[in-house]
């Protein structure tokens, strides 16, 4: 039977994918094509061109992009009934390039299978790895994962096999496997896509980990903001249980393993492993000093192995295809692939999976398709979210692997990658991240609670035009202090956004402090809302976007802003591709 | 979840929810989430009943409620507007959207309009960063927002 795949993950649904899917079903019935076509609701494929609709027959596959409910009838009548594809809605070569340039292992099922149908997962080799693992000795599984070179995808990059070994060796009658699906980095969404698009791969990875360390229970700690992921996970857990891949005596081997889901309640620090454990135990999510590490004393004081969603999703491929295959991908120190979430001022926003060692340039200008607005130049890429840093264009040729990234003062983090252009102010970005971490600091330790607050105060002074040269020294010293003295990873990394922007964009800070200028035209207190005549191309874009009609413009004339009417909303500054409004 | 905001708290309802969780370890957070799903916020009466039934101090429950951003201690509006202030959305203009909504609705973050129609909240990342700036009203996502689109969205919900 031929299939119509419709991407119905969170991003698809936001673009009316459910309506599109229902319409297809209705019209297929109406035109008596229901014997020939089956509508399959798949997860997000990773490219934000929703709604994506694929018509898959035995020997062909055509992809429609940006499909809206009102396009469905045309596709059904012209293509499905008439046999003539609707050319103008078909995805072009750039769509193909976006996918052909990737190496999709973790994402291989995302956007291809119905995540709520375990049969489709099994048909693509699902649960084969678990079958293999249950007949292996614990140490053999651990050895395979170790020699594959898999490192934790949650941010730290700790070798996964080694972590499993610690937990395996820890004394305890009961042990736990925990999946960290808290995805706290505001700008990363790969874990969500995997959970929504291929939940069984995470479950299978957890069960294999359970087998390896000798645990009988697993917990998935999922972010509260991801209701669809929770729903699909629960469905997958139930189905896996019904098929005997979870539960008692799995495949008659005596190995038992069950998984529960716990929903987070909105606290970034709960992504930190000891805080996450406290939260599962029903307490405030406060981190505690390590050691003891969770591998020795974790959930309910029992040995606990915590891994990230993407880490678990890699496991089944390693068991199925072997450590040698996996370790042949990537660089010396960083094996396998990594999923990155491209967002911000880049043309193709979405998820890309590439071998470790790919350069920033390849991602931004290759798969990312370059800048969203050709006139406004690439400036920096932010890696690693609130714990990470901003890397300038001059580092664009750098290979992305754990060692290289750490050397720059940023971190790999979970793979969130925000592309910034000339209209992004680096001082403002540093301030933004500190606002975030100040808000999210749990407040237990003084360096993080007070130190970050002071750094934020100073950054506000600078962006508001009251910066002094001594502020720079203060930020550096305080940043180093907070980094070295904080209790948990939050404080130990929270100064990174400020420190890296100072390191790579010193001139921008200088302009703010000494000249009271914001070259990106972002910081409101430093803006004049005046059109720079030399730069104005007289295009009128600003006038069209002004919500309060405060801009006068006639064809062929320089625009003028009426400051009486202006509400300083900055719409015009954003709209102007020539940066002609200061 | 659309807020229900029933001010009437029935003891039997809360006890029912407690029974549903009682056997498990670490019940408090899921239990409070259930209460909030039911009422749109966590009413004081519910906290007292839970404290008595589970033999914990109310202050311990408030400790949890105030730690996690998801919990609300006051009734909220009929429609919850969540403006994403995640990194991607911020870079793409989320702050301007937020300022505009504050101005148009005449309220600050976490406040409710006088007619009880809208509550304005911020979230960090809704997981569709590629469509930034993103705004969510109740269960529905709006991507690639600008100020004009926001005005239309508000009208959709009776502004
Ligand atoms: C403040 C903070 C937030 C974190 N947030 C996350 C997160 O959202 N997701 C995640 O997988 N790991 C997060 N981590 C890392 C975890 O503590 C832990 O190292 C990780 O889950 C281990 O899994 P891995 O070895 O598979 O990477 C965070 C760490 C810190 C310090
Ligand atoms: S940053 Fe807004 S959805 Fe992720």
Q: Which residues of A touch B154 (CB under 8 A)?
A: none
Residue A193: the pLDDT is: 94
Helix (H, G, I), strand (E, B) or coil at B23: coil
> Among partner residues B64, B125, B141, which is closest to A14 by beta-carbon distance?
B141
Clarify whether residues A189 and A322 are in a common domain. Answer: yes
Residue where a domain stops, chosen among A91, A126, A142:
A91
CATH number at residue A572: 3.30.70.20
> Among partner residues A15, A300, A382, which is closest to B87 by beta-carbon distance?
A382
Choose which residue among A149, A151, A155, A385 to substitute to test ligand 1 binding: the one with the highest number of ligand atoms within 8 A of its C-beta.
Answer: A155
Interatomic CA distance for residues B10 and B12, integer angstroms: 5
State whether the beta carbon of B80 lies less than 6 angstroms from ligand 2: no
Clarify whether residues A458 and A504 are in a common domain. Answer: yes
pLDDT of residue B7 exceeding 70: no
Residue B128: the pLDDT is: 86
- How far is the CA of A409 from the CAs of A182, A238, A385, in angstroms? 24, 43, 13
pLDDT of residue B129 exceeding 90: no
Q: What are phi and psi of A132, to 5 degrees?
A: -65, -45
Q: Residue B72: CA atoms inside 13 Å, Cβ hemisphere, count?
A: 20
Q: Residue A237: CA atoms inside 13 Å, Cβ hemisphere, count?
A: 19
Specify the residue with its C-alpha closest to ligand 1, atom 25. Answer: A152
Interatomic CA distance for residues A484 and A188, integer angstroms: 26
Clarify whether residues A562 and A447 are in a common domain. Answer: no
**Cβ pair A436:B124 closer than 8 A:** yes
Q: What are phi and psi of A536, to 5 degrees?
A: -65, 125
Domain count, chain A: 5
Closest chain A residue to B96 measured between Cα atoms? A569
Which alpha helices (DSSP H) does A226-384 contain, by range? 227-242, 273-280, 309-321, 323-327, 360-361
Which alpha helices (DSSP H) does chain B contain, by range? 11-21, 28-39, 44-54, 58-67, 87-91, 94-105, 147-156
Q: What are phi and psi of A514, to 5 degrees?
A: -90, -40
Clarify whether residues A210 and A263 are in a common domain. Answer: yes
Q: Is A402 on the interface with B (CB under 8 A)?
A: no
Q: Is B54 on the interface with A (CB under 8 A)?
A: no
Ligand nearest to the CA of A315: 1
Interatomic CA distance for residues A382 and A417, integer angstroms: 6
Clarify whether residues A432 and A531 are in a common domain. Answer: no
Q: Is the Cβ–Cβ distance between A405 and A500 less than 8 Å? A: no
Q: Mean of the per-residue pLDDT values for chain B? A: 90
Interatomic CA distance for residues A410 and A531, integer angstroms: 37
Residue A488: both structure tokens together:
């948990």
Residue A100 within any structural domain of the chain: no
Clarify whether residues A490 and A506 are in a common domain. Answer: yes
- How far is the CA of A512 from the CAs of A393, A525, A571, B87, B95, in angstroms? 21, 11, 22, 22, 20
State whether the beta carbon of A310 lies less than 6 angstroms from ligand 1: no
State whether the beta carbon of B132 lies less than 6 angstroms from ligand 2: yes
Residue B21: the pLDDT is: 85
- How far is the CA of B14 from the CAs of A281, A318, B2, B7, B24, in angstroms? 21, 47, 19, 13, 16
Parallel, antiparallel, or unpaired: how do β-strands A337-344 and A304-308 relate? unpaired
Q: Is the Cβ–Cβ distance between A204 and A241 less than 8 Å? A: no
Residue B2: the pLDDT is: 44
Burial class (CB within 10 angstroms; exposed 0-12, middle 13-18, buried 19+) of B136: buried
Closest chain B residue to A50 measured between Cα atoms? B131
Parallel, antiparallel, or unpaired: how do β-strands A378-383 and A53-56 relate? unpaired
Identify the band that residue A105 occupies on the pLDDT scale cut at 50, 70 and 90: very high
Which atom number of ligand 2 is nearest to the Cα of residue B126? Answer: 3
- With helix as H, strand as E and coil as C, how does A455-499 read? HHHHHHHHHCCCCCHHHHHHHHHHHHHHHHHCCCHHHHHCCHHHH
Clarify whether residues A269 and A417 are in a common domain. Answer: no
Helix (H, G, I), strand (E, B) or coil at A211: helix
> Among partner residues A263, A266, A343, which is closest to B130 by beta-carbon distance?
A343
Q: What is the CA radius of gyration of chain A?
A: 26
Clarify whether residues A412 and A487 are in a common domain. Answer: no
Closest chain A residue to B100 measured between Cα atoms? A569
Interatomic CA distance for residues A183 and A115, integer angstroms: 20
pLDDT of residue A321 exceeding 50: yes
The tens digit of pLDDT for each residue in B21-53 reads 877 888 999 999 999 999 999 999 999 999 999
Interatomic CA distance for residues A517 and A582, integer angstroms: 9
The tens digit of pLDDT for each residue in A22-73 reads 999 999 999 999 999 999 999 999 998 989 999 999 999 999 999 999 999 9
Q: Is B65 on the interface with A (CB under 8 A)?
A: no
Q: Is the Cβ–Cβ distance between A167 and A305 less than 8 Å? A: yes
Parallel, antiparallel, or unpaired: how do β-strands B135-137 and B79-84 relate? antiparallel
Ligand nearest to the CA of A156: 1
Parallel, antiparallel, or unpaired: how do β-strands A37-42 and A2-7 relate? parallel
Residue A443: the pLDDT is: 94
Interatomic CA distance for residues A310 and A342, integer angstroms: 16
The dihedral sign for the CA sequence A578, A553, A573, B135: negative
pLDDT of residue B3 exceeding 60: no
The tens digit of pLDDT for each residue in A346-383 reads 999 999 999 999 999 999 999 999 999 888 899 999 99
Identify the band that residue B1 occupies on the pLDDT scale cut at 50, 70 and 90: very low
Q: Separation of A273 CA from ligand 1 center, angstroms?
A: 6
Q: Is A385 on the interface with B (CB under 8 A)?
A: yes
Residue A347: both structure tokens together:
């043309």
Nearest-Cα distance to chain B for A439, in Å, is: 10
Q: Is the Cβ–Cβ distance between B72 and B40 less than 8 Å? A: yes
- How far is the CA of A109 from the CAs of A64, A189, A277, in angstroms? 19, 16, 30
Residue A555: the pLDDT is: 87
Residue A114: both structure tokens together:
């119905």
Clarify whether residues A141 and A199 are in a common domain. Answer: yes
Q: What are phi and psi of A521, to 5 degrees?
A: 60, 50
CATH number at residue A496: 1.20.1440.230
**Cβ pair B86:A382 closer than 8 A:** no
Residue A113 within any structural domain of the chain: no
Nearest-Cα distance to chain B for A138, in Å, is: 29
Residue B26: the pLDDT is: 86
Clarify whether residues A311 and A348 are in a common domain. Answer: no
Give the number of other CB atoms < 10 A from CB of residue A205. 27
> Among partner residues B29, B100, B132, which is closest to A343 by beta-carbon distance?
B132
User: Could you write out the DSSP letters of every residue in A187-209?
Assistant: T--HHHHHHHH-HHHHHHHHHHH
pTM of the predicted model over 0.90 = yes
Residue A67: the pLDDT is: 96
Residues in chain A: 582
Q: Separation of B129 CA from ligand 2 center, angstroms?
A: 4
Residue A503: both structure tokens together:
């390191």
Q: Which residues of B touch A263 (CB under 8 A)?
A: 29-30, 33
Q: Is A228 on the interface with B (CB under 8 A)?
A: no
Q: Which residues pair with B83 in a beta bridge?
A: B122, B135
The tens digit of pLDDT for each residue in A442-492 reads 999 999 999 999 999 999 999 999 999 999 999 999 999 999 999 999 999
Q: Is A279 on the interface with B (CB under 8 A)?
A: yes
Average pLDDT over residues B141-150: 91
Residue B57: both structure tokens together:
């101090």
Residues in chain B: 159
Identify the band that residue A188 occupies on the pLDDT scale cut at 50, 70 and 90: very high
Residue A271 within any structural domain of the chain: yes
Ligand nearest to the CA of A205: 1
Interatomic CA distance for residues A440 and A385, integer angstroms: 13
Which alpha helices (DSSP H) does A1-86 contain, by range? 10-14, 17-30, 72-74
Q: Give the residue among A340, A361, A360 at the shortest CA–CA distance from A350.
A: A340
State whether the beta carbon of A180 lies less than 6 angstroms from ligand 1: yes
Q: Is the Cβ–Cβ distance between A560 and B138 less than 8 Å? A: no
Residue A225: the pLDDT is: 87
The tens digit of pLDDT for each residue in A218-260 reads 999 999 889 999 999 999 999 999 999 999 999 999 999 999 9
Q: Is the Cβ–Cβ distance between A351 and A193 less than 8 Å? A: yes
> Among partner residues B25, B30, B131, which is closest to A11 by beta-carbon distance?
B131
Parallel, antiparallel, or unpaired: how do β-strands B118-123 and B79-84 relate? parallel
Q: Is A382 on the interface with B (CB under 8 A)?
A: yes
DSSP class of residue B10 equals P
Interatomic CA distance for residues A161 and A144, integer angstroms: 8
State whether the beta carbon of B28 lies less than 6 angstroms from ligand 2: no
Complex prediction ipTM = 0.91
- Domain of residue A470 covers 426-515
Interface of B with A in 80-119 (CB under 8 A): 85-88, 90-93, 96, 99-100, 103
CATH number at residue A183: 3.40.50.11540
Helix (H, G, I), strand (E, B) or coil at B104: helix
Residue A482 within any structural domain of the chain: yes
Residue B6: the pLDDT is: 53
Residue where a domain stops, chosen among A469, A484, A515:
A515
Choice between A507 and A556, residue whose per-residue pLDDT is larger: A507
Q: Mean of the per-residue pLDDT values for chain A? A: 95
Residue A162 within any structural domain of the chain: yes
Q: Is A11 on the interface with B (CB under 8 A)?
A: yes
Nearest-Cα distance to chain A for B109, in Å, is: 14
Residue A112 within any structural domain of the chain: no
Residue A496: both structure tokens together:
């990174």
Clarify whether residues A382 and A431 are in a common domain. Answer: no
Q: Which residues of B touch A283 (CB under 8 A)?
A: 26, 64
Q: Which residues of B touch A416 (CB under 8 A)?
A: 87, 129
Parallel, antiparallel, or unpaired: how do β-strands A217-222 and A176-181 relate? parallel
The tens digit of pLDDT for each residue in A221-230 reads 999 889 999 9
DSSP class of residue B114 equals T
Residue A191 within any structural domain of the chain: yes
CB burial readout A370-384, b (16+ within 10 A) else e: ebbeeebebbbbbbb
Tell me which of A186, A261, A302, A340 to substitute to probe the interface with B (most B C-beta atoms closer than 10 Å).
Answer: A186
Q: Which residues of A touch B148 (CB under 8 A)?
A: 545, 547
H helices, E strands: number in chain A: 25, 15
Residue A102 within any structural domain of the chain: no
Clarify whether residues A540 and A568 are in a common domain. Answer: yes
> Among partner residues A187, A342, A442, which is closest to B87 by beta-carbon distance?
A187
**Cβ pair A188:B123 closer than 8 A:** no
């Amino acid at each position: 039977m031929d299939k119509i795949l419709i991407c119905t993950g969170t991003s698809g649904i936001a673009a009316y994918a459910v309506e599109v899917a229902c319409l297809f079903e209705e019209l297929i019935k109406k035109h008596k094509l229901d014997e020939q076509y089956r509508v399959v609701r798949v997860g997000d494929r990773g490219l934000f061109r929703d709604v994506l609709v694929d018509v898959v027959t035995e020997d062909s596959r055509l992809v429609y992009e940006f499909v809206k409910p009102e396009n469905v009838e045309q596709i059904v009548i012209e293509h499905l009934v008439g046999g003539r594809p609707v050319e103008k809605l078909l995805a072009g070569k750039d769509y193909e390039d976006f996918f052909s340039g990737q190496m999709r292992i973790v994402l291989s099922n995302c956007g291809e299978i119905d995540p709520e149908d375990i049969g489709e997962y099994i048909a693509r080799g699902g649960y084969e790895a678990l079958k293999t693992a249950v007949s292996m000795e614990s140490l053999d599984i651990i050895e395979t994962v170790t020699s594959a070179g898999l490192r934790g995808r949650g941010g730290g990059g700790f070798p996964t096999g080694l972590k499993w070994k610690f937990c395996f060796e820890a004394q305890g009658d009961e042990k736990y496997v925990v999946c960290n699906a808290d995805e706290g980095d505001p700008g990363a969404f790969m874990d969500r896509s995997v959970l929504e698009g291929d939940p069984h791969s995470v479950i299978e990875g957890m069960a294999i980990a359970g087998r390896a360390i000798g645990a009988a229970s697993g917990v998935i700690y999922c972010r509260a903001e991801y209701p669809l992921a929770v729903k699909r996970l629960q469905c997958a857990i139930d189905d896996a249980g019904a098929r005997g891949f979870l539960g008692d005596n799995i495949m008659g081997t005596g190995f038992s393993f069950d998984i529960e889901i716990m929903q987070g309640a909105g606290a970034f620090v709960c992504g930190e492993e000891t805080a996450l454990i406290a939260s599962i135990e029903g307490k405030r999510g406060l981190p505690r000093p390590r050691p003891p590490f969770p591998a020795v004393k974790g959930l309910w004081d029992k040995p606990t192995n915590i891994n990230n969603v993407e880490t678990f999703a890699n496991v089944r491929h390693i068991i199925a295809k072997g450590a040698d295959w996996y370790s042949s991908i990537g660089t010396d120190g960083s094996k396998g692939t990594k999923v990155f979430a491209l967002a911000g001022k880049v043309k193709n926003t979405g998820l890309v999976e590439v071998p470790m060692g790919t350069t920033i340039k390849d991602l931004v200008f290759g798969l990312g398709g370059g800048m969203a607005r050709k006139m406004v130049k690439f400036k920096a890429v932010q890696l690693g979210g609130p714990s990470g840093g901003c890397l300038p264009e001059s580092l664009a040729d750098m290979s992305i692997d754990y060692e290289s990234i750490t050397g720059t003062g940023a971190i790999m983090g979970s793979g969130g990658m925000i592309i910034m252009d000339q209209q992004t102010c680096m001082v403002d970005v540093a301030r933004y991240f500190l606002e975030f971490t100040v808000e999210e600091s749990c407040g237990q330790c003084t360096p993080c609670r007070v130190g970050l607050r002071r750094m934020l105060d100073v950054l506000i002074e600078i962006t508001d035009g009251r910066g002094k040269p001594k502020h720079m020294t203060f930020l550096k010293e305080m940043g180093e202090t907070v980094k070295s003295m904080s209790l948990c990873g939050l404080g130990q990394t929270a100064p990174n956004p400020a420190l890296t922007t100072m390191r790579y964009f010193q001139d921008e800070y200088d302009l703010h402090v000494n000249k009271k200028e914001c070259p990106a035209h972002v910081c409101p207190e430093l803006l004049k809302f005046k059109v720079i005549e030399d730069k104005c191309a007289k295009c009128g874009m600003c006038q069209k976007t002004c919500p309060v009609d405060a801009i006068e413009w006639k064809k062929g004339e320089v625009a003028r802003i009426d400051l009486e009417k202006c509400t300083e909303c900055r719409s015009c500054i954003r709209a102007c591709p020539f940066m002609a409004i200061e | 979840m659309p807020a229900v905001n029933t001010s009437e708290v029935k003891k039997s309802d809360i006890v029912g929810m407690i029974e549903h969780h009682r056997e498990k370890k670490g019940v408090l957070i899921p239990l409070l989430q259930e209460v909030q799903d039911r009422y749109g916020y966590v009413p004081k009466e519910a906290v007292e009943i839970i404290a008595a039934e589970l033999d914990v101090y109310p202050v311990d429950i408030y400790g949890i409620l105030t730690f996690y951003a998801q919990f609300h201690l006051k009734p909220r509006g009929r429609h919850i507007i969540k403006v994403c202030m995640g990194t991607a959305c911020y870079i793409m203009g989320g702050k301007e959207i937020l300022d505009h909504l504050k101005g148009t609705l005449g309220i600050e973050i976490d406040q409710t309009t006088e007619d009880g129609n809208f509550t304005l909240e911020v979230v960090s990342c809704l997981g569709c960063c590629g469509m930034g700036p993103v705004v969510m009203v109740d269960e529905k996502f709006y991507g690639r927002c600008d100020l004009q689109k926001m005005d239309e969205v508000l009208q959709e919900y009776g502004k």
